Amino acid sequence: MHRPLAILSGPAARTAIAAGCARPLAGGPLAFALVETVAGIIPATALAGDHPLVRPRAPWAGFDLSRPVIMGIVNVTPDSFSDGGDHDNAEAAIAHGRRLMAEGADIVDIGGESTRPGAAPVPVDVEIARVVPVIRALAAEGAVISIDTRHAAVMRAAAAAGARIINDVTALTGDRDSLSVAADLGLPLVLMHIKGEPQTMQDAPRYDDVTAEVGDWLAARIEAAVAAGIARATIAVDPGIGFGKDLDHNVDLLARTGALHRLGCPLLIGVSRKRFIAGLSRGEAAKDRVAGSIAAALHSLGQGAHILRVHDVAATMQAVAVWQALQSA
């Protein structure tokens, strides 16, 4: 495993790169001076220019990844962990999607099945009926829509309605037809790590080294996708914070997020309102975890994350704008 250390930003990053003592992290605005390997710590300049930690990321889903991409969440469900029932009909979900667009969301992520811990599966026809009217309406208004689903039939229906990205919490393992359907559709996609399935994933998950194991699992899913005919350049990855991980696992993953750049793909981080925030704080309810969500999101940007999946678009956009200005000063 290669983990970037001594990460720099703004003028310090540019100066260090120009002086030949640091490398750009994934080709972005950050730089790193050191690398942690299994053999010890080495200078970043020892890496080849085409090493995944260094190599620039090409645009993904039409987005220039030199700036953070914000993905806003629309759950058309009665039982999602944070906002279940708030937008569980098409009219309310469409209105919420419009709000997220107005607040600056680059992508609107629409889901019709809760994958919170303990959630029961939803019949595919119910999931399709929930999401398709919302996708069709928002896509017609110019939104870039991602479909949050683990079912191949939903992927097809969503694409036909105007979805332009597939976001699968099972990394195309949840449905035997998902790989072939994703390859046939040719849409950009997000492969997320999950251990187990929603009903069982929080039943005492165990890892020897969570960050290394999540990275290895995602690497295998990338190769499976490529073998199925999916273009590597269309793939982004998500470590799946809260999906088959306990509090310590989540903290370790976020602390060492930069190590996942070894996969060579754009990195999406979804921490919004998740339970680990309450575990680190005072047990707040989901809707009272906005500040903690933003703290984790900004930390992830400092590790070179490219895409943030969030409930609170306006608050996140404000925080990111201030963070970027201070990093560049």
309 is catalytic: yes
Mode of pairing for the β-strands spanning 40-43 and 31-37: antiparallel
Cβ(105)–Cβ(146) below 8 Å = no
Q: Partners of 107 in the beta sheet?
A: 71
Catalytic residue among 3, 156, 245, 309: 309
Q: What residues have CB less than 8 Å from 196, skipping those under 6 apart?
A: 203, 205, 244
CA distance 289 to 297: 12
Catalytic residue among 57, 150, 274, 275: 274
287 is catalytic: no
Q: What residues have CB less than 8 Å from 256, skipping those under 6 apart?
A: 3, 211
Residue from 262, 175, 188, 270 nearest 219 by CA = 262
Residues with a catalytic annotation lie at 274, 309
